[in-house]
Structure 1
């Protein structure tokens, strides 16, 4: 995937919500890595990092859906104000509104994979 395409999608999804979701993703990854680093040293810290990573991933997911709903409301406001709506405008509005939900889901899935692996290591 092209870096320019990814940055365009990021901006299309709305910089505010996409940035907040990105912060959630980075926090989740940070907590998971910190949990992996503390597996042998302090298991309690690893368990705490799992909890924090879970919270951060859920925050990313929730922000994604909130951004999606707000994007749909904005798209429908525009549709309501235009008498003859072009199907391309409708499709574009729907695409943009789903970008935040997609990024939120991506954040959640990546975090959950790391959490599952870390939990598996802790139970050995």
Structure 2
């Protein structure tokens, strides 16, 4: 399936917000890498922002899923009888935004963990 199709199926509003959190996480990650390897400055300030943006991506994805499921269950209640195949397809679509948010969170967690370890080793080497 085309990633652009998944983006639109997962609600463009929530997928865009999750993408913004991901871009923010990458900006702060890049900033920390530049400070560490180019400017040779050792500071842990701002490291938490990488995890913050990753966490916001997950929470935004879950919020999008909750709102989507509420709307879907309301439609099912109005219509009445719904086929299991239609219900399964709707549940699959409702998982797109949270999975996208989780992917961004995992990336942020990896970057945060690596940078934290590098900072710790550099601090120990300077002592």
TM-score normalised by L of structure 1: 0.90
In 2: Cα distance, 1:48 partner to 1:24 partner: 19
In the alignment of these two chains, the number of paired residues is: 119
Aligned residue runs from structure 1 range 44-59, under 5 A = 44=43, 47-59=44-56
Of the two, which has the highest radius of gyration? 2
In 1: Cα distance, 2:56 partner to 2:76 partner: 30
Structure 2 unpaired stretches of 5+: 122-127
Contact preservation (8 Å) 1:75, 1:94: no
Poorly superposed stretches of 4+, deviation over 6 Å:
none
Cα RMSD of the aligned pairs, angstroms, is 1.3
Structure 1 unpaired stretches of 5+: none
Aligned residue runs from structure 1 range 1-124, under 5 A = 5-40=2-37, 41-44=40-43, 47-124=44-121
In 2: Cα distance, 1:57 partner to 1:34 partner: 16
Question: More displaced, 30-39 or 15-24?
Answer: 30-39
